[in-house]
Structure 1
Amino acid sequence: MARSRAGNLPLELTSFVGRRREIAEGRQALAGSRMLTLVGVGGVGKTRLALRIAAEMSQDFRDGRWMVDLSPLPEGGLLTETVAAAVGCPRRDLDSLAGYLHDKRSLLVLDNCEHLPGPCAALAGDLLAMAPELRVLATSRQALRVAGERVLDVPPLTVPEAAGTSAEDALRNEAVRLFEDRAAAVVHDFTVNDANCAAVVRLCRRLDGIPLAIELAAVRVQVLSVEQILKRLDDRFRLLTTGPTTAPARQKTLRALLDWSYDLCSEEERRLWERLSVFSGGCCLDAAEAVCSGDGIAREHVLDLVARLVDKSIVRRRRKDAAVRFEMLDTLSEYGAERLAASGRDVALRRRHRDWCRDLAVRSEAEWFGEHQMDWLACLVQEQGNVRAALEFCLDEPGEAGAALEIAAAMWSHRLSWSSPSEGHLWLERALARAPEACAVRAKALWVDAWLVLLRGDGGAAGPLLEECRALAERFGDEAELAGVAHVTGFAALQAGEFARAFALLEDALARRRALGEWGHAWVVLYQLAMAAVLTEDRRATELCEEALKTARGAEAEWSVSYALWAAALDRRRRGAQRQAVTMMRESLRLKLRCNDHLGLAQGVEALAWILADGERYEQAAQMLGAAHMLWRSIGTSLSGLRHLAGAHERCESCLREHLREGTYRAAFDRGRGLTLDQVAAFALNDRPETAGRGRRPGSDPASVLTRREREIAELVARGLSNKEIAETLVISQRTAECHVENILRKLNFTSRSQVAKSWAGQVVRGSRESRSGSC
């Protein structure tokens, strides 16, 4: 009798880390419905979470909480008997079990249902229909589809979003805390500190925040340092092999756990799992259909198979604005890649993936100058991981380097898809070295590479590239690449401050581009001509600026509009219309922020400083120059290599030093240099120097400056949730969550999430004290 009232929940032998949100949601779901299924990938901690939810609900189930581990059952024939034995029912048939549970307020925990989804669903449905006081909590890779079932997705543990965080900030994340706890169990004095924090964070991120993988890795600190574990992690399936002796066989090694999941899939599902591993950073359905269909998988079946893998928690569905993407944890993807390689089909699949990426790059280049410019930019940023993976394949696989040249050269129109101009240059440099054959594709890659190194301010490196490009273009009589040479050579002259030569070359390039009908290329040349005219105060400046702005707006190409506004703002400055110049430059900066164009942002902030100096707002201009200095350095570009801008910069600096005392100038410059990107944006757009770089009044209420939604998000940040988890909790897009967090940091003048957490914790304590004092 005592057993029937208490239940049979096992004692926890190790500490329970994190999962506050999931525990709360699970308890709430069981309070409002009679069946809850926890679903998630193997090793994510569904069983521990189920046991913790059950343990915390002891007052809700007076007749006991019963756990039934179904993993040993090979098939469903013994399911009812196993459950009856676990709850103490003397007879083992369904009617007797239902009768036994009929008047008992009990919780039945059915653990590991994934290999018996049909029998488990049938039994749960029957028992819930015949025992009105019963609640069922199940764990499975997929939902059981029982009437009235609530499903709670169990995500991996939270991991730090960046490796450069402090130990204090890192330990606010569940994965890091779990690693520290389990490592300390084998090395008693182990702690996460500033010396090992970066390695621990990278390790937890590499392991996707999967609790089982983290626990297996933590055991290794007995013989390896965290850094050594990281180095061996490329072979993670051999490294992570020492689970507790009391654990089920499949949980003693990471490979055994994934083998279990793989074996539960159908043959078609296994093939798709393997093929999806060629994607990096996920994919949309169209991409999965294009790359993964054929050879045993019909294109029209891909959607259904993807849905089935989502149901089994192998693939995760992520909504990105209006689109849906599918992705796998790195651990699952690596397992799929290993299986794909063993099948001998990996090279063929990677070629198909390469072809898909090449088609994407070619289409983006063809359509970049138009109303979908920002859409293409967002798309390529989103597919950055896939493009990189395709390029890496081309450069590693013999005979494929020419395709890498095509892809990387086509990306000239969306250089923001790279992390910086330097990244694009490095890809082209590697591809040019591996594909030395003379051809038109090489010629194009050479002028694109020259353009990218010029954006870095490295005019010396551009010269040899342009010389080889011209020789190839003339040899093949390729008018498009001859136009490219003329264009980039003119841009090089512009950057060198050789304005007369730049004008001649750019005018020739403009005529060539227009003759070829390359309107996007032609607009870029037109903009650079307008820039040259403005910077030299040429009489044609206004006409060229207005034409560039009108053309970009006519094409509805917003990114291009941002650059045309930059030139037009400087033309207004040249003509003495300072107020209009400021307004236009800020409009340009708003567009650049939308597309995350840091190079354009640096250029805009720099020019805004010149305009403010002209308006005798010297201290603000000095602070803006400092902010521009920070931005130039952040993207690896130096004004010393951009002579067309360096001259105006030097004149502005001389003006400011003339009108400000040295100490005042240096203090303002240093304030600007110390701003974060968000603070630079706020300062540049709002023109409120009295608030930029300064905090709230000490002791002021942080909640008072936030909106209701921002206060809600600040509380979730304080609880340790990542942007992705905040988005899922509030059912908003991840980008929206990111914007809110950025606004919170800016409004509170904080630079890290840990500051929000500390501030919010203090606010909660103060609120609690005020509440207690008010009740006395």
Structure 2
Amino acid sequence: MGRRQELAEVRRMLSVSRMVTLTGVGGVGKTRLATRSATTLRRAFPDGVWLVELAYLEKPELLITLVMEAMEIRDHSSRPPLEVLVGHLRDKQALVVLDNCEHLLYECAVLAETLLRSAPELRILATSRQILGIAGEQTLTLPPLSLDSGGTRTAVRAPATSDAVQLFTERAQAVVPEFTVTQENQETVEGICRRLDGLPLAIELAAVRLRVLSVQQLLERIDDRFRLLTGGSRAVLPRHQTLRALIDWSYTLCTERERALWARASVFSGGLDLEAAEEVCSGDGITGAEVVELIAALVEKSIFTREEYPGTVRFRLLETIRQYGRERLAESGRTAEIQRRHRDHYRALAAEARVRLFGADQVAWLGRLQMEHANLRTALEYCLSDPAEVRVGLGMGADLLYHWITSYYLAEGRRWMDRALASDTGPSEVRARALWSNSWLAIIQADPDAAAAMLEESKAIGEKLGLEPVLGYVAVFSGMIAMVRDDTETAIALYEDAVRRHTSTGDPVGRALALIRLSLAQSFLGDSALAISIGEEGIAVCDAYGEGWHRSYTMMALGVEVWRQGDAARATKMEQESLRFNRSLDDPLGIGVNLEVLAWIAATERQYARAARLLGIAETVWKAVGAPLSGYGHLAHYHDECVDDTRRVLGPAAYLAEFEQGSDLRYEDGLAYGLEEPAPAAAASQGTGGSSPLTPRETEIARLVAQGARNKGIAATLVISQRTVEGHIEHIMNKLGFNSRAQIAAWVREQEHGAGAGSSG
């Protein structure tokens, strides 16, 4: 059942090292892999393969005796047992499997070193939740079972055959012989395996419950996993008969401070970094300086999983391990305290991001917020679940404004803000700031009436409390609403007021934002010189701080005016420069506007087929955003003119054909088309040695998938959103006719093998 890659890796490691240790969380299948490996390697060891089961051994002084018993060594002399064992193995070509070493770590390490030093042909394969730490030891950390199926997809999708589902099916059939995975129950079975983190023991215990539950009932009850997953085989170790007992065993192997850190870390969602752990988990017996050593110990004991990202390392707990930790934290009576610390850390992170987002570190900070999105969400939920904390959540939601706007979380951001505003209604600086922040989200969602109401209240609070920055932002967003309502004169007056206020308060963010809108409005009125001058002022503000996002939007605005002046080539360069930055940030709003303007430019250059295709590409982006020309509705007449002219020249049928070609393009293909870059499929084929159907970005993601990277890790590596990664993987599967990551990995290996074969011939 599965683990073919791991079996091959164990065989390879034992061929180059005399000491190999399999590590991993409890229940992940270390013992099973070790015994399977030993069985397949019997022929390589003429003097025998011996399994030494240490789980039941409680007295360390009996270790050598137990090894001798397992190897059937009978000695009635008075010599020390170690001397007898060494003498027996000295000239033997054998493999000894030491299973479950974690509770006898020191004794096993000393024994292994002694035997390997004395018996040159001996190999040792150990299983442990923590490495033995001896010279020459190679380790293989065993991950949970694959949740993705392999094989080749047919026209009719066959039931999944992932390692996890295979194991569930085998164990289910042992209690319900007629059980099979079908099209109807496949998703439910996969959901069960996924909720159990792909842990073999948990899956086996869950399958046993099919004696009394349907698979749907099992999935519905799986969150209560520690009470549900009991009643395993009596033939296995007692601690392997229930999931709780197994994790209890891991818990008892930890020191008191390691247990405390485990419990405290359970408040994190989606992982944590060292800085967060030091701030949230220290105190009450754990100093900040000790946190790194405790994390290292928990990684060694397979409680934490280490994940490397560009420039940083993060740590993750499997959900099963995290839930256990939460129960232990609740037993300690400190859940509220640690949750508050968690909230405080991410509240401070959001506040710092707000300050740091206008500058050279902008992309890095936005990427960090995306990486921490699950923790930010948890912190917000903590705030909004307690009336006394709602105002803190209100400020945090406002601080995350650019996180909501530059990602795919805009709708979620507005939900958080609406909820917080409904709960904290007292006039305050925080409420005023949250109101104008949320108004921007409403404008982008094409909800100007709601935005106007929020701005009216924000202005009233700002005037009452003398909040000049608030009044500056109210002016900016009120100007946007005026533009939506075709009142350009009012909009310009408001934008000019905003520029004055933000200049006087020294706020470059508000000033840059107001200048972008003012340039667009003057362009809309036909004052080209003023529009260009204002846009150039905006560029200068951004360049003074090394800022990129507002600069890209300013460049977009300037491109519109330069196009209106008739310089299509320069306008195209401006829009493409803006598009490249927005692509690097994966900002769908900016990308959509850039594609629109490029389509308008193409139509005026009589490149009607290109214009129609760009409109189709933009349509796909607007569907993802949720509103066409979101926040830039006053530019809609350019869109309408472009559509009318292009359809008239091409004819309805040809226009529709080109438009659909654009809308059918994969996301990266569409952006490459807009940027007039080389054909992505051709570029991808250069890296795979054949005619690859994937774009360069898809090829890059496919390779990361083949390396075992998760979506979150891929997103961090490529500095794009996790949702974009998911979209790319879906595109890859659709294009290749696959239904799993495992199939993608196999395809990548085949492509690379083919490229190597071709080059060698």
Same fold (TM over 0.5): yes
Task: Report the counterpart of residue 126 of structure 1 in structure 2.
Answer: 114
1:723 aligned to 2:723?
no
Larger mean Cα displacement after TM superposition, 166-175 or 591-600: 166-175
Task: Report the counterpart of residue 57 of structure 2 in structure 1.
Answer: 73
Task: Report the counterpart of residue 561 of structure 1 in structure 2.
Answer: 551
Any idea what the Cα deviations from partners look like across 1:141-169, whole Å, max 9, x if unmatched? 111011111111111122359xxx99959
The AA in structure 2 aligned to 1:445 is A
What is the rounded CA distance, in whole Å, between the counterparts of 1:227 and 1:759 in structure 2?
Answer: 30
1:644 aligned to 2:634?
yes
Conserved? CA contact 2:432–2:458, under 8 Å? yes
The AA in structure 1 aligned to 2:233 is P
Larger mean Cα displacement after TM superposition, 182-191 or 477-486: 182-191
With over 3 angstroms needed to count, the CA separation of the structure-2 counterparts of 1:624 and 1:467, relative to structure 1, is same
Give the alignment of 1:156-305 within 5 angstroms.
156-160=144-148, 168=157, 171=160, 173-305=162-294
The AA in structure 2 aligned to 1:567 is A
1:153 aligned to 2:138?
no
Conserved? CA contact 2:68–2:85, under 8 Å? yes
Following superposition, the deviation at residue 137 of structure 1 comes to 0.3
Larger mean Cα displacement after TM superposition, 370-379 or 52-61: 52-61
Task: Report the counterpart of residue 339 of structure 1 in structure 2.
Answer: 328
Give the alignment of 1:473-552 within 5 angstroms.
473-539=462-528, 540-552=530-542
With over 3 angstroms needed to count, the CA separation of the structure-2 counterparts of 1:321 and 1:713, relative to structure 1, is closer
1:88 aligned to 2:90?
no
The AA in structure 2 aligned to 1:76 is P
Conserved? CA contact 1:701–1:763, under 8 Å? no
With over 3 angstroms needed to count, the CA separation of the structure-2 counterparts of 1:243 and 1:489, relative to structure 1, is same
Higher RCO, 1 vs 2 (CA within 8 Å, ≥6 residues apart): 2
Any idea what the Cα deviations from partners look like across 1:452-494, whole Å, max 9, x if unmatched? 1111111122122112222222222222222222121112222
Give the alignment of 1:253-652 within 5 angstroms.
253-416=242-405, 419-539=408-528, 540-639=530-629, 642-652=632-642
Conserved? CA contact 1:710–1:744, under 8 Å? yes
Following superposition, the deviation at residue 709 of structure 1 comes to 13
What is the rounded CA distance, in whole Å, between the counterparts of 1:157 and 1:281 in structure 2?
Answer: 19
Conserved? CA contact 2:305–2:317, under 8 Å? yes
What is the rounded CA distance, in whole Å, between the counterparts of 1:200 and 1:440 in structure 2?
Answer: 50
What is the rounded CA distance, in whole Å, between the counterparts of 2:561 and 2:186 in structure 1?
Answer: 51
What is the rounded CA distance, in whole Å, between the counterparts of 1:325 and 1:605 in structure 2?
Answer: 36
Task: Report the counterpart of residue 672 of structure 2 in structure 1.
Answer: 682
Local SS of the residue matching 2:130? coil
Task: Report the counterpart of residue 112 of structure 1 in structure 2.
Answer: 100
Conserved? CA contact 1:702–1:748, under 8 Å? no
1:44 aligned to 2:33?
no
Local SS of the residue matching 2:314? strand
The AA in structure 2 aligned to 1:667 is A
What is the rounded CA distance, in whole Å, between the counterparts of 2:61 and 2:739 in structure 1?
Answer: 53
Local SS of the residue matching 1:591? helix
Q: How many residues align?
A: 744
Local SS of the residue matching 1:348? helix
Following superposition, the deviation at residue 170 of structure 1 comes to 7.9
With over 3 angstroms needed to count, the CA separation of the structure-2 counterparts of 1:526 and 1:704, relative to structure 1, is closer
Following superposition, the deviation at residue 676 of structure 1 comes to 2.4
Task: Report the counterpart of residue 100 of structure 1 in structure 2.
Answer: 88
Task: Report the counterpart of residue 750 of structure 1 in structure 2.
Answer: 735
CA root-mean-square deviation: 3.6
Any idea what the Cα deviations from partners look like across 1:298-339, whole Å, max 9, x if unmatched? 111111111111111111121110111122111111111111
Any idea what the Cα deviations from partners look like across 1:41-97, whole Å, max 9, x if unmatched? 111111111122222212211111111111101131111111110011113811111
Among residues 661, 664, 671, which one is paired with 2:661 in the alignment?
671
With over 3 angstroms needed to count, the CA separation of the structure-2 counterparts of 1:277 and 1:684, relative to structure 1, is same
Following superposition, the deviation at residue 712 of structure 1 comes to 11
Conserved? CA contact 1:384–1:418, under 8 Å? no
The AA in structure 2 aligned to 1:558 is G
Following superposition, the deviation at residue 349 of structure 1 comes to 0.8
Local SS of the residue matching 1:723? coil
Any idea what the Cα deviations from partners look like across 1:183-224, whole Å, max 9, x if unmatched? 344344444444333333333332222222222223334433
Any idea what the Cα deviations from partners look like across 1:396-447, whole Å, max 9, x if unmatched? 1341111100110111233347533211100011111222222221111111
With over 3 angstroms needed to count, the CA separation of the structure-2 counterparts of 1:249 and 1:118, relative to structure 1, is same
The AA in structure 1 aligned to 2:368 is C
Larger mean Cα displacement after TM superposition, 504-513 or 629-638: 629-638
With over 3 angstroms needed to count, the CA separation of the structure-2 counterparts of 1:745 and 1:611, relative to structure 1, is farther
Larger mean Cα displacement after TM superposition, 529-538 or 247-256: 529-538
The AA in structure 2 aligned to 1:628 is A
Structure 1: 5+ residue stretches without partners: 1-15
What is the rounded CA distance, in whole Å, between the counterparts of 1:42 and 1:661 in structure 2?
Answer: 66
Any idea what the Cα deviations from partners look like across 1:626-672, whole Å, max 9, x if unmatched? 11111111122244875223222111111111111111111111222
With over 3 angstroms needed to count, the CA separation of the structure-2 counterparts of 1:736 and 1:721, relative to structure 1, is farther
Conserved? CA contact 1:40–1:46, under 8 Å? yes
What is the rounded CA distance, in whole Å, between the counterparts of 2:389 and 2:381 in structure 1?
Answer: 10
What is the rounded CA distance, in whole Å, between the counterparts of 2:691 and 2:161 in structure 1?
Answer: 21
Local SS of the residue matching 1:525? helix
What is the rounded CA distance, in whole Å, between the counterparts of 2:482 and 2:700 in structure 1?
Answer: 53
The AA in structure 2 aligned to 1:68 is V
What is the rounded CA distance, in whole Å, between the counterparts of 1:38 and 1:709 in structure 2?
Answer: 35
Following superposition, the deviation at residue 115 of structure 1 comes to 0.9
Local SS of the residue matching 1:213? helix
User: TM-score, normalised to structure 2's length?
Assistant: 0.90
Following superposition, the deviation at residue 109 of structure 1 comes to 0.6
What is the rounded CA distance, in whole Å, between the counterparts of 2:559 and 2:263 in structure 1?
Answer: 53
With over 3 angstroms needed to count, the CA separation of the structure-2 counterparts of 1:763 and 1:613, relative to structure 1, is same
Among residues 127, 135, 138, which one is paired with 2:123 in the alignment?
135
Local SS of the residue matching 2:400? helix
Following superposition, the deviation at residue 705 of structure 1 comes to 8.1
The AA in structure 2 aligned to 1:329 is L
With over 3 angstroms needed to count, the CA separation of the structure-2 counterparts of 1:542 and 1:767, relative to structure 1, is closer
Any idea what the Cα deviations from partners look like across 1:213-236, whole Å, max 9, x if unmatched? 222223334433333323222212
What is the rounded CA distance, in whole Å, between the counterparts of 1:747 and 1:580 in structure 2?
Answer: 35
Conserved? CA contact 2:407–2:588, under 8 Å? no
Local SS of the residue matching 1:400? helix
The AA in structure 1 aligned to 2:126 is A
Task: Report the counterpart of residue 644 of structure 2 in structure 1.
Answer: 654
With over 3 angstroms needed to count, the CA separation of the structure-2 counterparts of 1:274 and 1:87, relative to structure 1, is same
